[in-house]
Chain A
């Protein structure tokens, strides 16, 4: 069973700061997902990646498969980025595991104006 750890649990920063959220997992995966959850509860997929780096607007996600580690970066952070950011992993299919995602506890990000 994969263990997904995120850090930090809580992060408060000033508008404009560069934000980094980290995720590590214990067992090989097929892909890693970064998700955003707003106070209303809805979950939005930001990235799915299995290697390298992806960029979308001010968001950048990287993954190091050998280290079993991923980071989510936010450049020029804005109060509207305030949300919970969740890392989730999909199982490695070579092991025949379940295809549901395993989630981290999330990082609660607050960007102050």
Chain B
């Protein structure tokens, strides 16, 4: 069964460093999403992506964040200068259509020290 994959599973970085989180969505999906979950809190929407551009973004997704689909398979989230409060689990999801069921990856746990 096709699945969304994410790498790395755990990333530790120092404050101020850049990190890139990688996702491989399900191959025939067209809609891509990033969410994050701070420990003990609810999952929050960051950004959605379709047709090689951002569809929507939340207030959390400020200028420190960017997304890219550099080739036909990968979907990346870049945090330019990490802050302590960026420590969270980051989930990638993909869907076959807008509003369709979303399939989540296993997440990347980002720890900023």
Tell me how many residues of A have a C-beta within 8 Å of chain B: 25
Query: Provided the pairs A41-B109, A90-B99 are in contact, do residues A104 and B104 lie with their beta carbons within 8 angstroms?
Result: no
Interface check A59, CB cutoff 8 A: no
**Stretch from A15-23, A43-51, A61-69, A72-80 forming part of the interface with B:** A43-51
In the complex the two chains form, what is the Cα distance from A88 to B102 in whole Å? Answer: 11
Among candidates B41, B44, B56, B101, residue contacting A99 with C-beta atoms closer than 8 Å: B56
Among candidates B42, B101, B107, residue contacting A103 with C-beta atoms closer than 8 Å: B42
In the complex the two chains form, what is the Cα distance from A55 to B99 in whole Å? Answer: 20
Interface check B47, CB cutoff 8 A: yes
B31: which A residues are within 8 A, CB to CB?
Answer: 99
> Are B58 and A42 in contact, CB atoms less than 8 angstroms apart?
no
Among candidates A33, A40, A100, residue contacting B45 with C-beta atoms closer than 8 Å: A100
Query: Provided the pairs A100-B35, A100-B58, A101-B102 are in contact, do residues A41 and B107 lie with their beta carbons within 8 angstroms?
Result: yes
> Are B106 and A98 in contact, CB atoms less than 8 angstroms apart?
no
Interface check A102, CB cutoff 8 A: yes
Top 3 A-B pairs, shortest CB-CB distance: A100-B45, A98-B56, A43-B104
